[in-house]
Structure 1
Amino acid sequence: MTHEADDVNEAIEGELRLLDPAVRSSRDEALRLFDPEFVEVGASGRHYTYEETVAGLPDQPGSSADGPRYEPSAFTGVLLAPGLVHLTYETVFDGRRARRSSLWRRRDAETGWRMYYHQGTPVPPGAD
């Protein structure tokens, strides 16, 4: 496996961890996976900061072990530059599809890969 493939796979592993209810409900786990400069543009167009995301994640959908879970598929990833991976994939959550894009950044080996940017776009019913 190439170094590029290793980096992409590590970013995918981080993304999958952030979809896990046990990780989503744990502030400590979330802190390990979000870059301190993280931002998100939500489906509503609202901008979310690192602080808002980490504080609110346990209350967001998909954070309860007994509730609906995100079902991810169709991951693709590209190493854009050393320490920067772009992922795209789809999720189904409670019957609703979304296309997702995220940037993962690795500043050093100690902190590892962390999500730097995320955007999710709802897919209307019947759209390809």
Structure 2
Amino acid sequence: MRAETDEVRAAIAGELRLMDPSVRTSGSLARQMLDPGFVEVGASGRRWTYEEMLAELPEMDGAVESGPRYEPSSFTGVLLAPGLVHLTCETTFGGSRARRSSLWRKQGGGATWQMYYHQATPIPPEGM
């Protein structure tokens, strides 16, 4: 097992922040967390761009403070190169589970890690 680095811990913290309703509903906070080159392939198979995600995020699952939230588990991360972390985890939301993979990058000596790429793959219900 690989030792968890400060970079991996920073990526995990960023992933958790993006699951927080207060970040999901704040365009300015979400903008800080997503790299301008961001792309996502969602669990539905839809491809999302940076601008599409920022526009839709406040209406997506997990954006209501008093509503259901993503429950993440099994985080693993690898520092691929300076300023680039590959992070994986599983989430549960409303009884549905997904495996998630994301790339986090930190550019130009900046202090902020930003999500560059994200993909979610549904986990079939038990017995399927």
Range of TM-score over shorter length: over 0.9
> How far has the Cα of 1:111 moved from its partner?
4.9
Q: Which runs of 4+ in 1 moved over 3 A?
A: none
Where structure 2 has 5 or more consecutive residues not aligned to the other structure, the ranges are: none
Read off the aligned partner of 1:53 and give its amino acid letter.
M
Task: Tell me how far 1:18 sits from its aligned partner.
Answer: 0.2
Distance in 2 between the 1:51 and 1:102 partners? 18
TM-score by length of 2: 0.93
Conserved 8 A contact 1:23-1:29? yes
Query: Partner of 2:75 in structure 1?
Result: 75
RMSD (Å) for aligned C-alpha atoms: 1.7
- Distance in structure 2 (CA, Å) of the matches to 1:121 and 1:41: 9
Q: Structure 1 127/116 Cα, relative in aligned 2: closer, same or farther at 3 Å? A: farther
* 1:118 alignment partner, SS class: strand
SS class of match (1:43)? coil
The total of aligned residue pairs comes to: 126
CA contact (8 A) 2:43 2:98 kept: no
Alignment match, 1:13: 13
Residue identity over aligned pairs, in percent, reads 63
Partner of 2:64: 64
d(CA) in 1 for partners of 2:39, 2:111: 18
> Is contact 1:32-1:111 (8 Å) kept?
no
